[in-house]
Chain A
């Protein structure tokens, strides 16, 4: 009965497409069986689908006959793009020809890829150290409670730094570097 039907057009559209849970569809199956309004709406939707089917047949006839051949002629001039991993795998020879040397090469390349950034950053830090800081030549123990550290300062002087083993603040003495 029309007066008792609360099914929205959107719900019915989804029902017609058999989208939704099986419980929802079963509930609507039961409702539609006794609802003239929904039957009419579904009949209209079915008519629309029939018209689209007719339309589809017409389009099928309009498809250029050599369509697939035209596509393939263009495709032959192109290559499908692969991911870098697929490309790498494609470069490898068949398994039986894979030698230990090639495996080693692959491992070395992988290690280089993985560790190169960290090595590069260590190099960077090392460069910063040698440019901005003094370079230590030696550490000499001069007494049980003091050590002497000899190094070149950034200004080019040789510095002897007395370092206390404990408690003492220590002190430095600058000596001109030898030519």
Chain B
């Protein structure tokens, strides 16, 4: 997991990166070598190390539990079948994320359901006048736990409305904790694009959550104004 300057270190998977990305990557490489050496059952540990993040990415992109489980399973089977192509100098996390992302995008293209409810792909600027709104609400609200649950649900809605490319990068960064280099590998985009895409994805998500907070406060006058 990448170190962060403030709190809220995101979850990083059940065990794949609990001892740091380098140690996790090294363990992945060892497991890959064992599988290629004929020890097929070593692949199970790779699956267990990455299954949550792979399923999470597929679920976030596809919005459907059964489809996500199928795609996640297919991603691992593809990874196993192509393990000889995995380059050990890269991150296995980024590699399996790339496979999952590509399978999910292909699936969405086939289903042709993607465009219906998505936000436009236009870049938006953050509303600086509302900086701190999200943080202050989560801290100040006496029913923070309730609000966090509500915002969690809204986050889910917001993710559904984001373009797939913004959804992917947010999930891979915020949930899976991929570094910019790994994001670049997983999404096959330059580092500069990683920075701008991640920034705009965050801004869109924050704006959606602010809108939700504004809406809920105007509906409930007792709550403090933003």
Contact = CB atoms under 8 A, between A and B. Distances in A.
A82 B81 CA distance: 9
Contacts of A43: 6, 132, 134-136
B132 A55 contact: no
Nearest to B149: A54
A94 to B, nearest CB: 13
Contacts of B92: none
B132 A75 contact: no
Contact of B51 (A44, A68, A79): A68
A50 interface: yes
Interface string A75-119: 110111111001000100000000000000000000000000000
Contact of B80 (A9, A42, A58, A80): A80
Interface stretch (B98-106, B107-115, B197-205): B197-205
Contact of B77 (A14, A42, A44, A74): A74
Contact of A58 (B8, B131, B152): B152
A18 B2 contact: yes
> Interface extent on B, as a size class?
35 or more
B206 A48 contact: yes
Contacts, number: 179
A64 interface: yes
A18 to B, nearest CB: 5
A71 B84 CA distance: 18
A41 interface: yes
Interface string B1-43: 0111111111100100000000000000000000110101101
B99 to A, nearest CB: 13
B63 interface: no
B47 A50 contact: no
A57 interface: yes
Is the contact region of chain A dominated by helix, strand, or loop, or is it mixed?
Answer: helix
Contacts of B173: 17
Contacts of B47: 67-68, 71-72
A80 B55 contact: no
A128 to B, nearest CB: 42
Contacts of B132: 39-41, 43-44
Interface of B: 2-11, 14, 35-36, 38, 40-41, 43-44, 47-48, 51-52, 55-56, 59-60, 65, 69, 72-73, 76-77, 80-85, 125-126, 128, 131-136, 138, 148-149, 151-152, 155-156, 170-171, 173-175, 179-180, 195-196, 198-199, 202-203, 205-206, 209
30 contacts: A9-B199, A10-B196, A13-B198, A16-B5, A16-B6, A17-B180, A17-B198, A19-B180, A39-B132, A43-B136, A45-B202, A48-B134, A48-B209, A49-B4, A49-B8, A49-B10, A49-B174, A51-B148, A51-B151, A56-B175, A59-B60, A59-B175, A62-B55, A67-B47, A67-B69, A74-B73, A79-B81, A81-B81, A83-B84, A86-B36
